[in-house]
Structure 1
Amino acid sequence: MDVNDFFEALKELERDMKIDGEELIETLEIGLASAFKKDSGDSRAIKVTINPEEKYIKIFAYHKVVEEPEEDYEISLQEAQKIKPDAQIGDIIGEDVTPADLSRIATQTGSQVIKQRINEARKAIINEEMSKKEGELVPAIVRRVDPNAISVEIIGTQVEGIMSKYDQVFGEKLSVNDKIKVYVKKVKTTDKGSSQVYVSRSSPYFVKKLFEIEVPEMKTGLVKVKNIVREAGYRTKMAVYSDEPTVGFANESSIDVIGTCIGPKGARVNAIVSELKGEKIDVILYSSNPSEYITRALSPAKVLLVRFNEILKQAEVVVPDDKLSLAIGKNGQNARLAAKLTGYKIDVIPYSKALERTEGGFDTLTDTENE
């Protein structure tokens, strides 16, 4: 490769890989200086100048002018004045030491630097693309299954995604080469410039994104998610609403928000349940009325009364005696998720116990019998 070919290669690299030309030249100058010193054994300070406009490469060695040279980088005044006639003691002067076989050194060094910059450019492109996928669902292939984490490859990128045990769904058994969907939680750039991607299947946002795929009205913003909570592998509760004009009922839009999410004959929600391997999903209509919201959040249980303190964010919920277990849920799961969804600390009590209690400490007593 001659000098002209060298500069042409730089131009193509800058154009095709979108690598900054000035940064590339600076890197090449440093690389060539190091290669020249190693090749020649010269211990002096070396500076390389690459001029792409005039297509030349020059290498200069720098001397310090002294009376009696003792080091390799020092030069006598007499010798210095042969290079620069007006040189004085203490001056730093440069000598053109560009070798005849410069093209060989330039080719070897340039090839290494160019490969390095191409790799860096590719990593930068991948990092940019992966950053755009943060907060989205992506297809992946399981590559390795370890006790504490699962490694996946994001399809189409060759980027590794790490799914910690906390981001895995309890009871879900994944094997190498399984094709799955994952939620991109976070994208970081490592010290080596590569993307480190953290993915999840247990995040509630994983379920939300599945709904956005199945329910076009969510993607367009006609139906919105107020909040979503999840105990992965068991149950998800999602509160939805719409900003469409209300008709007849306070806080309720003119469209069937729940029906839109469920789909004809449950087709939409069933597709999501299938992806989640049978996980239960409660889709409820959000209400700004705490009593209504709490009542709906405890679905599928029937609620008789709700007494709440809006300041303390506490609620006492009365349910039929025979529905207490359903309202609380297995290991308290239903009540726990309802509390997370609404932001209220919920105490569920049976009707028989409520009769024994006296009123007080709560702002509102609401009969939900006919709601």
Structure 2
Amino acid sequence: MAVTSELVAAINQIAAERGIDKENVFKALEAAILSAVKKEKYGKIERTDWETEEKLGSNLFVEVDRETGEFKLFAVKVVVKKVEDKEVEIALSEAELISPNVEVGDSVQIEMPSDDLGRIATQTAKQVLLQEIRESEKDAVISEFSDKVGEVYTALMQRMQKGGAVMEIGKATAFMPQEEQVSNEFYRVGERYKVLLKSIEDSQILVSRADPKFLIELFKLEVPEIESGVVEIKEVAREAGSRSKIAVTSHQDGIDPIGACVGQRGIRIANVMNELGEEKIDIIEWDENLDRFVANALSPAKVDSVDISGDTATVVSPSDQLSLAIGKDGQNVRLAWKLTGVKIDIVGAEVEETEKVEEKEEAKEVKEVEEEKVEKVEETKKDEVEEYADSTEEDVVSNNGDETKS
């Protein structure tokens, strides 16, 4: 029997297009046809012994011609003097017709008739084959992309599916879940988008445009100093589609990390922002001194002072910079908080000055109360001393009178 030449052609085409090992596909086809043979031959026989059922057809195998699609069904049988189970045994006299030098106990391969396989068996073989092809594609995906996680690729948008975007990266299919999409972006079928290969889960490539690492990788593509390690992105805080902050530092004297990221006439950062659409990016200088880092993180706002206690920073901002430091809906301070890992409380300079005046007034009142208490104590002591002196004088007079009487 032959598998259609069209199916063989399809195997060759799919293997070439998907990067699948063609030999693995043919082996899967052989297994599929053998499965169909067993179902056709033994599927209607009732068996109660699972061990016997497991052995049914275990001596059969299929060979498929890689060029024509012709396949042959073979049975391996043991040579015996007297046949008790014709499924797995062959008489010595019959075996000698196949191989003249065969002996009892040897095994021989016998080609079996396969013309009765029929349309159902062929269809079953096709279905199993398609499943094997899908599995082979999954293995190919893992093999090609398993060490590429974290890299940026250009993906072709194909369709939306259950809120997610189905994309094509080369010969592989990728999926961008809704939570990895940028909320204000619309993905058009046929358009190409840069994406971060975030992970491979159950042989499925997952990509993202919302992950902060995507921003880092975009800067690596645009800024050679970052790719070479001269400039390092230390921290990233991102609200995808709206605004991001990145903290950078230089490991080489004379290299301005912010200038390197911005580029001449702003061309480098412009290229990154063009890829991200409406998202704004603040580039600030990282500092190992946390006070200065917090102050930098609140850029573009200027601050007067930073006082850190524990995991909280109290920042004093000039009154005309207060709203800028906080940002619309608190976004600027929120991103600075994420960037530095420190909770930030911002107060205006006028409020700070008022608090200082109030503290001085309170201290003055406390001092006056304490002084008043001291005065009262001193007056009390003075009264006690005078009272003691008077009583002592009376005692002396009294004692003198007693002496006169005696």
Quick check: TM above 0.5? yes
2:297 maps to: 297
Q: Equivalent residue of 1:134, what SS?
A: coil
Is 2:228 aligned against 1:220? yes
Q: Equivalent residue of 2:277, what SS?
A: coil
Moved more, 210-219 or 130-139: 130-139
1:46 maps to: 58
Among 194, 200, 218, which residue is 2:208 paired with? 200
Gaps of 5+ in 1: 3-11, 63-68, 85-91, 190-194, 245-252, 360-371
| Deviation string, structure 1 residues 231-261 (Cα, Å, up to 9, x no partner) | 11221100111222xxxxxxxx431111111
The answer (yes or no) to whether the contact 2:158–2:168 under 8 Å persists in 1 is: no
Q: Equivalent residue of 2:176, what SS?
A: strand
Is 2:174 aligned against 1:160? yes
CA distance in 2, matches of 1:294, 1:159: 43
The answer (yes or no) to whether the contact 1:135–1:184 under 8 Å persists in 2 is: yes
2:66 maps to: none
Q: Equivalent residue of 1:307, what SS?
A: strand
1:313 maps to: 311
- Shift in Å, 1:307: 0.2
- Given the superposition, is the C-alpha separation of residues 188 and 330 from structure 1 closer, same or farther in structure 2, using an over 3 Å criterion? same
- Shift in Å, 1:174: 2.9
1:136 maps to: 151
- Given the superposition, is the C-alpha separation of residues 255 and 155 from structure 1 closer, same or farther in structure 2, using an over 3 Å criterion? same
1:127 maps to: 142
- Given the superposition, is the C-alpha separation of residues 325 and 120 from structure 1 closer, same or farther in structure 2, using an over 3 Å criterion? same
Q: How does 1:3-42 map to 2 (within 5 A)?
A: 31=32, 33-38=34-39, 40=41
Pick the structure with greater CA Rg: 2
The answer (yes or no) to whether the contact 1:45–1:61 under 8 Å persists in 2 is: no
- Given the superposition, is the C-alpha separation of residues 180 and 27 from structure 1 closer, same or farther in structure 2, using an over 3 Å criterion? closer
1:6 maps to: none
- Shift in Å, 1:58: 4.7
Q: Which amino acid aligns with 1:139?
A: T
Q: Which amino acid aligns with 2:348?
A: P
- What is the RMSD of the two structures over their aligned residues, measured on CA atoms? 4.4
CA distance in 2, matches of 1:141, 1:74: 55
Q: Which amino acid aligns with 1:138?
A: Y
Q: How does 1:196-345 map to 2 (within 5 A)?
A: 196-244=204-252, 253-309=253-309, 312-345=310-343
Q: Which amino acid aligns with 1:228?
A: V
Identity of aligned residues (%): 34
The answer (yes or no) to whether the contact 1:140–1:153 under 8 Å persists in 2 is: yes
Q: Which amino acid aligns with 2:305?
A: L
The answer (yes or no) to whether the contact 1:225–1:241 under 8 Å persists in 2 is: yes
Q: Equivalent residue of 2:198, what SS?
A: strand
1:367 maps to: none
CA distance in 2, matches of 1:157, 1:121: 13
- Given the superposition, is the C-alpha separation of residues 254 and 180 from structure 1 closer, same or farther in structure 2, using an over 3 Å criterion? same
- Given the superposition, is the C-alpha separation of residues 32 and 93 from structure 1 closer, same or farther in structure 2, using an over 3 Å criterion? farther
CA distance in 1, matches of 2:234, 2:245: 11
- Shift in Å, 1:98: 4.0
Is 2:192 aligned against 1:184? no
TM-score, normalised via structure 2 length: 0.63
Bigger fraction of residues in helix: 2
Gaps of 5+ in 2: 3-11, 46-55, 64-71, 79-83, 96-104, 361-406
Q: Which amino acid aligns with 2:315?
A: V
